[in-house]
Amino acid sequence: MLILVCLLTLFIIYLYTPFMLSFQKLNKMQTASWRNASNSSNRGSFSEDARRRYYQRMQQEYEEEQERVQRIRHMQSVFNRERNKFRRSYEAWRENGPPGGYNYVPRDDWYWQTDTSHSEHKNRRTYTPAGPRVYPMSHHYTVLGLDRLRTTPYTDAEVKNAFRTKAMEVHPDQNQDNRDAAEEKFKEVVKSYEAIKLERKNDAR
């Protein structure tokens, strides 16, 4: 009886062993297939995220560039408008003289002739009834942060650099908290720059 049981057990093991091997092999194949599918899905998801982030970054850079271009165009528009306005008023002043207020006759020297006394300088100024104020050239230099008392005249490049620095400092886009006051300061900077340019142009003739 014991021998029969042993033989039956061996027979069952003989039949069951190939089945177990096949099951293990199939299980390994399914596990490998699942891992490959999971890795492929992760790679696809990562690629999609990277592509989306890239497009978002490009869109943001494009919008920032457009905003910068708009600020430059606005600044150029304000500058051109104020320049044309000042040029017309200056030409009218040269043709008809100031309507009133301080009438200043420009000197031919840089700032102060060494042989010009205080009395001679005083005689070159005339006063008329009150009217719109005409600023002396020293005021325009002060607006740009320049010292007109400097012995060596400023070069065109120095004047231009001073204008750009001051214009960027007081530009309304740089002073969002008080745009109205900043715009008035910006207009004053533009007027002073144009006045200095016209003075230097006339002196060069």
Mean per-residue pLDDT over the chain, rounded: 72
Tokens representing 160 are 């231009």
Structure tokens at 169: 């400092």
113 to 6, 62, 189: CA distances (angstroms): 133, 56, 27
For the chain, the domains span 53-204
Q: What is the pTM of this model?
A: 0.37
Contact 125, 103 (CB under 8 A): yes
pLDDT per residue, tens digit, the chain (205 aa), is 556 555 556 555 555 555 455 556 656 666 666 666 556 656 666 788 888 888 888 888 888 888 888 888 888 788 888 877 777 776 776 666 555 545 555 544 444 444 444 445 555 555 444 444 555 788 888 988 888 788 888 888 998 999 999 888 888 888 888 888 888 989 999 999 998 888 888 877 6
Helix (H, G, I), strand (E, B) or coil at 134: coil
